[in-house]
Amino acid sequence: LRFDEQVRVVVFKSQVKGVFCAGADLKERAKMDDAEVGEFVRRLRNLMDEIAALPVPTIAAIDGYALGGGLELALACDLRVAASSAKMGLIETTRGLLPGAGGTQRLPRCVGIGLAKELIFTGRQVDGEQAASMGLVNHSVPQNSEGDAAYQRALTLAEEILPQAPFAVKMGKLAINKGMEVDIASGMAIEGMCYAQNIPTRDRQEGMAAFREKRPPRFTGK
């Protein structure tokens, strides 16, 4: 996906009704020795980092349970949409564990330190409406009879992104992600570098021409 220039947005959904991702298989984990567990979690963390590093926007469509590593997967995405009936939580402390695939880092950046600590320390689960109120998800929607309301809303959100200039969107994502890791002065410098890369693009010229000619722009990603 990273190297496919035709990809504009990636939506993560489950094929299992009522479950987005239930996290690690603890029965499988119980058969591993300490070294195997450490390697398993390291690979899982790397996977989440790969998802977070995708250059295009990513959307998690949470139509059911997103627990433990399942919520960490959703947190690795740029945007999250949840059914109001969905259940989310970093429940690791209820199993004698702590989040190990980015949850301790991405959740505080999403909802703030105090709330993230409360959710992780208690292992509490929240529904879609609660998640929306705390900023954990961008949108909460009533579940439908097909059980894919979040996915349908995610598609609508993706369709809002698709017409926009692909390279500009990618640079916007890069500027936000890298800028959040540094002080604001350094972040402004990062924004400037991303903007400079966008200036010579054909899409920028097309955007200006479309505005002058009062027509919809035809972006190509070049």
Predicted confidence (pLDDT) per residue in 63-99, tens digit: 999 999 999 999 999 999 999 999 999 999 999 999 9
What does the pLDDT read at residue 26?
77
What does the pLDDT read at residue 222?
92
What does the pLDDT read at residue 101?
94
What does the pLDDT read at residue 31?
87
Arithmetic mean of pLDDT, 3-22: 94
Arithmetic mean of pLDDT, 195-209: 94
Parallel/antiparallel/unpaired status of strands 87-89 and 126-127: antiparallel
CATH node for 10-162: 3.90.226.10
This model's pTM is above 0.85? yes
**210 contacts: CB under 8 Å, gap ≥ 6:** 216, 217, 218
Closest C-alpha to 138, from 160, 169, 166:
160
Q: Which residue intervals of the chain bear CATH 1.10.12.10?
A: 166-213
The DSSP bridge partners found for residue 67 are 89
Confirm if 102 and 75 have CB atoms less than 8 A apart.
Answer: yes
CA-based torsion, 66, 69, 73, 76: positive or negative = positive
What does the pLDDT read at residue 115?
97
Query: Is residue 46 pLDDT above 90, yes or no?
Result: yes
First to last CA, the chain: 18
- Mean pLDDT of the chain, nearest integer: 94
CATH homologous superfamily of domain 166-213? Answer: Lyase 2-enoyl-coa Hydratase, Chain  A, domain 2 (1.10.12.10)
Catalogue the active-site residues: 24, 69, 72, 92
Task: State whether residue 92 is helix, strand or coil.
Answer: helix
Confirm if 133 and 122 have CB atoms less than 8 A apart.
Answer: no
Q: Which residue intervals of the chain bear CATH 3.90.226.10?
A: 10-162
User: Angle 113-122/103-111 helices, nearest 10 degrees?
Assistant: 130
Which amino acid, 134?
Answer: M
d(CA 41, CA 75): 16
Confirm if 116 and 126 have CB atoms less than 8 A apart.
Answer: no
What does the pLDDT read at residue 56?
97
Confidence band, pLDDT 50/70/90 cuts, at residue 30: confident
